[in-house]
Amino acid sequence: MSKLIEYLNTQRFIVMSELKFKDTCTKPDIFHCDFTYKTVNCMFDSLEKIAEEIEKLKSKD
């Protein structure tokens, strides 16, 4: 696993942990939480795919 993907996974963990902590304190609407989690995961999935493409391009050089 590349350092970039490792970094992204760490950031995803931090962001999701912070969101879950905030949600336990504020008790928002469950649909809002689900939407937020899905959005954040989608963003990090996209960043991970970009990182994989960067790694592929680097390995071609």
Sorting pLDDT into bands at 50, 70 and 90, what band is 32?
A: confident
61 has a pLDDT exceeding 90: no
45 has a pLDDT exceeding 90: yes
Joined tokens for residue 43: 């963003």
User: Containing domain of residue 40, as a range?
Assistant: 3-60
Identify the DSSP state of 1.
Answer: -
Global confidence as pTM: 0.78
How many domains, in total, are found in the chain?
1
DSSP codes joined into one string, 17-61: HHHHHHHHHH---HHHHHHHHHHHHHHHHHHHHHHHHHHHHHHH-
Sorting pLDDT into bands at 50, 70 and 90, what band is 26?
A: confident
